[in-house]
Structures are given as structure tokens and as C-alpha cells.
């Protein structure tokens, strides 16, 4: 039986020129080839591969996310993420490509919930419109075309790594520590992204910049910038919180913390970078 985790790790490693299962001989051959072809090395895309753990209020692991980023010479950026959430039993595959400002260009999302296929969707975004082709157990086959009043600046596809990219909308040249902007898209209104996928226009997003912080995780020590995503109250009146610590200029998530957010006793949880290679 195919081990999906091993397969995914191998796939994203290969995409980054970091074959996780490659024999020493192959690595040596690649190094020799690189020496002989310096122009090829200079033109190679930059790749980053990593893993985040989702941790509950009692310190137990409640999920995980494997991801890779490819930064290409034409300035397009592609995120690949596979997410597992144990308590709500959501599995998500995402391949999302953006421009150099992390504005969405196209995205593929596939969802399984409680061990069963829920839906898949392909999204394309231009400056004038967003369209989505959906095949869903709940919705059936749907083709969406959504005119945009302004170019979309973000897409919430629900990996934690994609949440970090939302912080790229914060303009550090301005003095305000709390900034609000619009023109975002989303694939699901649920906090765990466990519905659809179905494309929708997001509401206004407000973010507070807390400041620079040095953060240490099992993946290393990082100079980060601390952001706080300001969220509306839940239907039960509780106020959720969402803090993210990201690197610049890639907005890679090193740590995240949520409050009044999860379904555990306190609603608290955190996300932590545990593996990173580049």
C-alpha cells in the first residue's frame, strides 16, 4: 500500500532539488553536474521544504502540515501543502501559485473529511475576475465566475502557511500599527476550511503589527515579525484570537497561536515549525 506521507515528502523534496530518499551516488552526480554547469545553477528556482505541527491546549499533537515553496525567476511563487487535522478529521491538498506580492493566480484544493472525499476545486484569478471549477459531493458540479471590483490581494485556502502570506498585505511604510484592507478570496468559511471548496469574497481584514521577535523552534532560531489577525466574534459571543510569527520577506510561518478558536476545552492551540530545509 502506498504511504501517502512518504510519497508527499518525496514529491516535495524532489520539487526542491532535495530528494529525501536519493542515494549518495545520485547526490554526488548532481553536485558534479552542477559544477560543470554553473549557468544552470544560477537560473535554478529557489525551493524551501518544511513541516508544521498543530498542537492542542494540553500539548498533544492534533495535526500536521507538510509544505514546500518554489520561488521562480519570473517572480511567481508556488505553495504546495498537505494538511491533516486529527480532531475534525480534515485532510487537505493545496497547490497555490501567486505573484511576487503573494496575490493569487491559480489554486487547486482537494478535501477529505472523516475519511471520505468531500470536494475538489480549481481556481483561476485575473485582475477582473475569479473563476472556480468545483466537483463536490454536496454541491455537485459547479462553475463559478466572480467579477472583481479590484484585483484580489489574497486567497485563504486554509493551510497555516497560506495564512502567513496574508500578512504580506501589511504596509510597513505606513505608521499605523493596525491596518485594514479588502479584496480577499476564500475557499471555505469554516475555521478549519472543511467545506467546499467553494470560492467566496472575503470580508475586510484587519491586522495589528506587534513587532519584531526572535523565535526558537525545533527547526531553529528565526528573526520574525509578530502579527495579530483581528477577528470578529463567534456566534456564541466568544472573541477568537490569531497571532502569527513570520519571517521577512517570505512570510514563512514559524509559530502561530489561536485562542477561543478550537473545539477543545480552552479553544487554545498553537502551530510550530519543526522542520525546514532550503
* Domains in the chain: boundaries: 1-44, 45-277
Report how many helices (DSSP H) and strands (DSSP E) the chain contains, helices first.
4, 17
When mean pLDDT is compared across 20-29, 172-181, 259-268, the lowest value belongs to 20-29
Helix segments in the chain, DSSP class H: 4-15, 24-36, 38-42, 160-166
* Opening angle at CA 176, ends 172 and 179, nearest 5: 80
Q: What is the pLDDT of residues 29-73, one digit of tens each?
A: 445 445 557 666 677 899 999 999 999 999 999 999 999 999 999
Q: Is the pLDDT of residue 15 over 80?
A: no
What pLDDT, on a 0 to 100 scale, did the predictor assign at position 17?
40
Which residues in 66-104 are b (16+ Cβ under 10 Å) and which e?
bbbbbeeeeeebbbbbbbbbeebebbbbbbbbbeeebbb
What pLDDT, on a 0 to 100 scale, did the predictor assign at position 24?
36
What 8-state DSSP symbol labels residue 210?
A: E
Indicate the pLDDT class of residue 21, thresholds 50, 70 and 90: very low
Q: Is the pLDDT of residue 10 over 90?
A: no
When mean pLDDT is compared across 52-56, 156-160, 217-221, 236-240, the lowest value belongs to 236-240
Cα distance between residue 253 and residue 231, in whole Å: 19
Give me the mean pLDDT over the 180-203 stretch. 90
Indicate the pLDDT class of residue 264, thresholds 50, 70 and 90: confident
CB 271 within 8 A of CB 256: yes
Q: Which of 161, 107, 99, 158 is nearest to 130 (CA)?
A: 107
CA dihedral 266, 242, 120, 93 (to 10 degrees): -90
Contacts of residue 182, defined as CB under 8 A and 6 or more positions apart, other chains included, come to 150, 202, 203, 204, 205
- Cell numbers 480552552 label which residue? 266
Q: What is the mean pLDDT of the chain?
A: 87
Q: Say which CATH topology domain 45-277 has.
A: outer membrane lipoprotein receptor (LolB), chain A (2.50.20)
Amino acid at each position: 500500500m502506498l504511504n501517502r506521507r512518504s510519497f508527499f515528502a518525496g514529491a516535495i523534496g524532489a520539487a526542491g532539488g532535495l530528494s529525501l530518499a536519493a542515494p549518495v551516488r545520485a547526490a554526488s552526480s548532481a553536485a558534479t553536474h552542477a559544477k560543470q554547469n554553473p549557468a544552470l545553477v544560477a537560473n535554478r528556482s529557489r525551493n524551501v521544504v518544511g513541516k508544521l505541527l498543530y498542537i492542542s491546549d494540553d500539548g498533544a499533537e492534533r495535526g500536521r502540515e507538510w509544505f514546500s515553496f518554489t520561488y521562480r525567476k519570473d517572480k511567481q511563487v508556488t505553495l504546495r501543502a498537505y494538511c491533516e487535522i486529527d480532531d475534525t478529521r480534515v485532510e487537505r491538498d493545496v497547490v497555490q501559485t501567486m505573484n511576487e506580492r503573494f496575490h493569487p493566480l491559480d489554486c487547486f484544493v482537494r478535501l477529505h473529511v472523516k475519511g471520505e472525499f468531500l470536494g475538489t476545486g480549481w481556481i483561476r484569478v485575473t485582475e477582473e475576475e475569479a473563476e472556480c471549477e468545483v466537483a463536490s459531493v454536496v454541491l455537485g458540479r459547479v462553475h463559478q465566475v466572480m467579477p472583481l471590483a479590484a484585483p484580489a490581494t489574497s486567497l485563504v485556502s486554509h493551510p497555516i502557511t497560506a495564512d502567513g502570506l496574508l500578512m504580506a498585505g501589511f504596509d510597513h511604510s505606513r505608521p499605523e500599527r493596525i491596518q485594514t484592507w479588502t479584496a480577499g478570496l476564500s475557499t471555505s468559511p469554516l475555521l478549519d476550511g472543511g467545506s467546499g471548496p467553494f470560492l467566496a469574497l472575503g470580508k475586510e481584514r484587519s491586522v495589528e503589527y506587534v513587532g519584531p521577535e526572535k523565535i526558537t523552534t525545533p527547526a531553529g532560531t528565526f528573526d520574525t515579525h509578530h502579527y495579530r489577525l483581528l477577528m470578529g466574534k463567534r456566534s456564541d459571543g466568544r472573541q477568537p484570537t490569531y497571532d502569527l510569527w513570520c519571517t521577512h520577506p517570505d512570510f514563512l510561518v514559524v509559530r502561530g497561536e489561536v485562542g477561543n478558536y478550537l473545539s477543545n476545552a480552552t479553544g487554545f492551540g498553537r502551530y510550530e515549525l519543526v522542520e525546514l530545509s532550503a
